Protein backbone atom coordinates (compact mmCIF):
# COMPACT_ATOMS: atom_id res chain seq x y z
CA UNK A 1 0.00 0.00 0.00
CA UNK A 2 1.31 3.46 -0.92
CA UNK A 3 1.04 5.99 1.91
CA UNK A 4 0.77 9.67 0.97
CA UNK A 5 1.81 12.64 3.08
CA UNK A 6 -0.70 15.54 3.03
CA UNK A 7 1.05 18.87 2.46
CA UNK A 8 -1.71 20.79 4.23
CA UNK A 9 -1.87 19.52 7.81
CA UNK A 10 -3.49 21.53 10.59
CA UNK A 11 -3.37 18.78 13.21
CA UNK A 12 0.38 18.55 13.83
CA UNK A 13 2.87 21.43 13.94
CA UNK A 14 5.82 19.37 12.69
CA UNK A 15 3.85 17.95 9.77
CA UNK A 16 2.60 21.42 8.88
CA UNK A 17 6.19 22.72 8.78
CA UNK A 18 7.28 19.80 6.60
CA UNK A 19 4.40 20.46 4.21
CA UNK A 20 5.29 24.15 3.91
CA UNK A 21 8.94 23.25 3.25
CA UNK A 22 7.97 20.94 0.39
CA UNK A 23 5.66 23.54 -1.15
CA UNK A 24 8.39 26.20 -0.86
CA UNK A 25 11.12 24.13 -2.50
CA UNK A 26 9.28 22.01 -5.08
CA UNK A 27 6.73 23.01 -7.75
CA UNK A 28 4.01 20.48 -7.02
CA UNK A 29 2.48 19.03 -10.18
CA UNK A 30 5.28 20.25 -12.47
CA UNK A 31 7.45 17.68 -14.28
CA UNK A 32 11.16 18.06 -13.58
CA UNK A 33 12.34 18.31 -17.20
CA UNK A 34 10.35 21.45 -17.99
CA UNK A 35 11.56 25.09 -18.02
CA UNK A 36 8.93 25.95 -15.41
CA UNK A 37 10.42 23.39 -13.03
CA UNK A 38 13.99 24.58 -13.50
CA UNK A 39 13.00 28.23 -12.98
CA UNK A 40 11.20 27.57 -9.71
CA UNK A 41 12.95 29.49 -6.85
CA UNK A 42 13.08 26.40 -4.64
CA UNK A 43 14.63 24.25 -7.35
CA UNK A 44 17.15 26.99 -8.09
CA UNK A 45 18.11 26.97 -4.40
CA UNK A 46 18.50 23.19 -4.41
CA UNK A 47 20.62 23.19 -7.57
CA UNK A 48 22.79 25.98 -6.14
CA UNK A 49 23.46 23.86 -3.04
CA UNK A 50 24.38 20.84 -5.18
CA UNK A 51 26.62 22.99 -7.41
CA UNK A 52 28.42 24.51 -4.43
CA UNK A 53 28.97 21.04 -2.98
CA UNK A 54 30.49 19.88 -6.27
CA UNK A 55 32.66 22.96 -6.81
CA UNK A 56 33.93 23.34 -3.24
CA UNK A 57 33.44 19.85 -1.88
CA UNK A 58 36.10 19.89 0.81
CA UNK A 59 35.10 23.30 2.19
CA UNK A 60 31.37 22.58 1.85
CA UNK A 61 31.61 19.30 3.78
CA UNK A 62 34.06 20.43 6.48
CA UNK A 63 31.38 21.16 9.12
CA UNK A 64 29.93 17.68 8.60
CA UNK A 65 33.33 15.97 8.64
CA UNK A 66 34.13 17.78 11.89
CA UNK A 67 30.80 16.64 13.33
CA UNK A 68 31.51 13.01 12.42
CA UNK A 69 34.93 13.28 14.08
CA UNK A 70 33.23 14.47 17.25
CA UNK A 71 30.77 11.58 17.04
CA UNK A 72 33.66 9.12 16.75
CA UNK A 73 35.36 10.62 19.80
CA UNK A 74 32.39 9.63 21.95
CA UNK A 75 31.74 6.18 20.51
CA UNK A 76 33.70 2.98 20.01
CA UNK A 77 31.60 2.10 16.94
CA UNK A 78 32.64 2.65 13.33
CA UNK A 79 31.06 5.79 11.87
CA UNK A 80 31.13 6.63 8.15
CA UNK A 81 30.28 9.60 5.96
CA UNK A 82 27.59 8.63 3.43
CA UNK A 83 26.96 12.04 1.87
CA UNK A 84 26.64 12.21 -1.92
CA UNK A 85 27.06 15.22 -4.21
CA UNK A 86 23.50 14.94 -5.51
CA UNK A 87 21.85 14.73 -2.08
CA UNK A 88 20.13 17.59 -0.29
CA UNK A 89 21.49 16.40 3.06
CA UNK A 90 24.62 15.42 4.91
CA UNK A 91 24.44 11.73 5.82
CA UNK A 92 26.28 9.15 7.89
CA UNK A 93 26.00 5.74 9.48
CA UNK A 94 27.08 4.10 12.72
CA UNK A 95 27.74 0.35 12.56
CA UNK A 96 26.54 -1.70 15.52
CA UNK A 97 27.25 -5.14 14.06
CA UNK A 98 28.45 -6.60 10.78
CA UNK A 99 28.86 -10.15 9.56
CA UNK A 100 30.07 -11.60 6.27
CA UNK A 101 30.52 -15.10 4.90
CA UNK A 102 30.69 -16.59 1.42
CA UNK A 103 26.96 -16.20 0.88
CA UNK A 104 25.89 -12.92 2.46
CA UNK A 105 26.52 -9.69 4.33
CA UNK A 106 24.50 -8.80 7.40
CA UNK A 107 24.63 -5.33 8.95
CA UNK A 108 22.97 -3.68 11.92
CA UNK A 109 23.43 0.08 11.76
CA UNK A 110 22.03 3.51 12.50
CA UNK A 111 21.65 5.82 9.52
CA UNK A 112 21.22 9.56 9.97
CA UNK A 113 20.88 12.64 7.78
CA UNK A 114 20.70 16.40 8.27
CA UNK A 115 18.85 18.36 5.59
CA UNK A 116 20.57 21.15 3.67
CA UNK A 117 17.33 22.87 2.66
CA UNK A 118 15.41 23.06 5.95
CA UNK A 119 15.95 22.50 9.71
CA UNK A 120 15.13 18.79 9.74
CA UNK A 121 17.05 15.60 10.42
CA UNK A 122 16.40 11.87 10.10
CA UNK A 123 17.62 8.91 12.14
CA UNK A 124 16.67 5.25 12.32
CA UNK A 125 18.07 1.79 12.92
CA UNK A 126 18.46 -0.57 9.98
CA UNK A 127 18.86 -4.35 9.86
CA UNK A 128 20.07 -5.13 6.35
CA UNK A 129 21.06 -8.30 4.52
CA UNK A 130 22.75 -8.65 1.13
CA UNK A 131 22.99 -11.94 -0.76
CA UNK A 132 26.22 -12.42 -2.72
CA UNK A 133 26.51 -13.73 -6.25
CA UNK A 134 29.83 -14.47 -7.96
CA UNK A 135 28.89 -17.00 -10.59
CA UNK A 136 30.24 -15.11 -13.60
CA UNK A 137 33.37 -13.74 -11.97
CA UNK A 138 31.82 -10.39 -11.07
CA UNK A 139 30.96 -9.51 -7.51
CA UNK A 140 27.30 -8.69 -7.04
CA UNK A 141 25.07 -8.32 -4.01
CA UNK A 142 21.31 -8.12 -3.67
CA UNK A 143 20.47 -6.07 -0.56
CA UNK A 144 17.26 -6.05 1.43
CA UNK A 145 16.16 -4.12 4.49
CA UNK A 146 14.78 -6.64 6.96
CA UNK A 147 13.39 -4.19 9.51
CA UNK A 148 13.57 -0.49 10.45
CA UNK A 149 13.88 0.52 14.10
CA UNK A 150 12.23 3.93 14.31
CA UNK A 151 13.05 4.91 17.91
CA UNK A 152 15.62 4.24 20.67
CA UNK A 153 14.60 0.61 21.13
CA UNK A 154 16.30 -2.55 22.45
CA UNK A 155 19.84 -2.98 21.07
CA UNK A 156 19.68 0.36 19.21
CA UNK A 157 18.73 2.43 22.27
CA UNK A 158 22.06 3.79 23.51
CA UNK A 159 23.59 4.59 20.12
CA UNK A 160 20.32 5.99 18.78
CA UNK A 161 20.05 8.40 21.73
CA UNK A 162 23.74 9.31 21.42
CA UNK A 163 23.52 10.24 17.73
CA UNK A 164 20.21 12.07 18.12
CA UNK A 165 21.51 14.08 21.08
CA UNK A 166 24.70 15.08 19.28
CA UNK A 167 22.77 16.15 16.17
CA UNK A 168 20.45 18.29 18.28
CA UNK A 169 23.45 19.89 20.03
CA UNK A 170 25.23 20.70 16.77
CA UNK A 171 22.21 21.68 14.68
CA UNK A 172 20.23 23.83 17.09
CA UNK A 173 16.52 23.97 16.40
CA UNK A 174 16.52 21.11 13.89
CA UNK A 175 13.58 18.72 14.23
CA UNK A 176 13.44 14.97 13.78
CA UNK A 177 11.28 13.74 10.91
CA UNK A 178 9.88 10.31 11.86
CA UNK A 179 11.27 7.79 9.40
CA UNK A 180 7.84 6.32 8.77
CA UNK A 181 6.72 9.81 7.71
CA UNK A 182 9.75 10.51 5.54
CA UNK A 183 9.12 7.31 3.61
CA UNK A 184 5.66 8.53 2.56
CA UNK A 185 4.99 9.59 -1.00
CA UNK A 186 3.76 13.09 -1.85
CA UNK A 187 1.11 13.37 -4.53
CA UNK A 188 2.40 15.16 -7.67
CA UNK A 189 5.87 15.74 -6.16
CA UNK A 190 8.80 15.50 -8.58
CA UNK A 191 12.29 15.72 -7.10
CA UNK A 192 15.33 16.20 -9.38
CA UNK A 193 16.00 12.44 -9.18
CA UNK A 194 12.39 11.66 -10.23
CA UNK A 195 11.21 10.37 -6.85
CA UNK A 196 7.99 11.46 -5.15
CA UNK A 197 9.09 10.39 -1.66
CA UNK A 198 9.38 12.84 1.19
CA UNK A 199 12.75 11.35 2.18
CA UNK A 200 14.18 12.19 -1.24
CA UNK A 201 12.82 15.72 -1.07
CA UNK A 202 14.38 16.44 2.34
CA UNK A 203 17.36 14.09 2.57
CA UNK A 204 18.47 11.44 0.05
CA UNK A 205 17.43 8.40 -1.97
CA UNK A 206 18.48 5.73 0.55
CA UNK A 207 15.12 3.96 0.48
CA UNK A 208 14.67 4.04 -3.31
CA UNK A 209 15.90 0.54 -4.01
CA UNK A 210 15.01 -1.27 -0.80
CA UNK A 211 11.39 -1.97 0.00
CA UNK A 212 10.63 -1.54 3.70
CA UNK A 213 7.81 -3.62 5.13
CA UNK A 214 8.58 -4.06 8.82
CA UNK A 215 9.09 -1.52 11.61
CA UNK A 216 9.81 -1.83 15.31
CA UNK A 217 9.98 0.63 18.19
CA UNK A 218 7.75 3.61 18.92
CA UNK A 219 5.52 4.37 15.95
CA UNK A 220 6.09 7.86 14.51
CA UNK A 221 8.78 8.60 17.07
CA UNK A 222 9.57 12.33 17.06
CA UNK A 223 6.27 13.53 15.64
CA UNK A 224 5.34 15.41 18.81
CA UNK A 225 1.83 16.05 20.11
CA UNK A 226 -0.99 16.83 17.74
CA UNK A 227 -3.60 19.48 18.39
CA UNK A 228 -6.62 17.23 18.05
CA UNK A 229 -8.94 17.44 21.06
CA UNK A 230 -11.02 14.40 21.90
CA UNK A 231 -14.12 15.04 23.99
CA UNK A 232 -15.81 12.12 25.70
CA UNK A 233 -19.59 12.50 25.88
CA UNK A 234 -22.18 10.24 27.46
CA UNK A 235 -24.37 8.27 25.10
CA UNK A 236 -27.67 9.85 24.11
CA UNK A 237 -30.64 8.92 26.25
CA UNK A 238 -32.61 5.88 25.23
CA UNK A 239 -36.03 6.90 23.99
> What DSSP character marks residue 4?
B
Q: How far apart are CA 128 and CA 140, in angstroms?
A: 16
Q: What is the pLDDT of residue 230?
A: 40
Q: What is the pLDDT of residue 137?
A: 66
Q: Does 124 map to a domain?
A: yes
Q: Rounded mean pLDDT of 82-88?
A: 93
Q: How far apart are CA 192 and CA 88, in angstroms?
A: 10
Instruction: Note down the domain range covering 26.
Output: 13-216
pLDDT digits (tens, 9 = 90+) for 52-82: 999 999 999 999 999 999 999 999 999 999 9
Q: What is the pLDDT of residue 229?
A: 44
Q: How far apart are CA 175 and CA 173, in angstroms?
A: 6
The CA-CA-CA angle for residues 219, 182, 123, to 5°, reads 70
Q: How far apart are CA 224 and CA 15, in angstroms?
A: 10
Q: Rounded mean pLDDT of 79-87?
A: 94
Query: Mean pLDDT score of the chain, rounded to an integer?
Result: 91
Q: Is the pLDDT of residue 239 over 70?
A: no
Q: Is the pLDDT of residue 231 over 60?
A: no
- Whether 77 contacts 96, CB under 8 Å: yes
Q: Indicate the pairing of strand 120-133 with strand 89-100.
A: unpaired
Q: Does 237 map to a domain?
A: no
Q: Does 63 map to a domain?
A: yes
Q: Rounded mean pLDDT of 168-184?
A: 96
Q: Does 45 map to a domain?
A: yes
What is the count of structural domains for the chain?
1
Is the pTM higher than 0.75? The answer reads yes
Strands (E), the chain: 78-81, 89-100, 104-115, 120-133, 140-149, 175-176, 215-216
- Whether 179 contacts 204, CB under 8 Å: no
Q: Does 60 map to a domain?
A: yes
pLDDT digits (tens, 9 = 90+) for 150-159: 999 999 999 9
Q: Does 119 map to a domain?
A: yes
Q: For the chain, percent helix, then strand, then coil, each to nearest 5? A: 30, 25, 45
Q: Does 233 map to a domain?
A: no
Q: What is the pLDDT of residue 165?
A: 97
Q: Does 225 map to a domain?
A: no
pLDDT digits (tens, 9 = 90+) for 89-131: 999 999 999 999 988 999 999 999 999 999 999 999 999 999 9
pLDDT over 70, % of the chain: 93
The dihedral built from the CA positions of residue 40, 45, 49 and 55, taken in this order, carries a sign that is positive
Amino acid sequence: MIRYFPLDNTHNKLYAEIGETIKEHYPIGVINDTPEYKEHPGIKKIMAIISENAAQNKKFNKPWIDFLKKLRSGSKKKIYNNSLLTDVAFSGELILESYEDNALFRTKKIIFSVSLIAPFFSICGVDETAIKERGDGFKRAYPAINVITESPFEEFENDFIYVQTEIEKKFTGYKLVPVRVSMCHVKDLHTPNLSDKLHNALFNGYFDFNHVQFFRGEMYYGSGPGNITVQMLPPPPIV
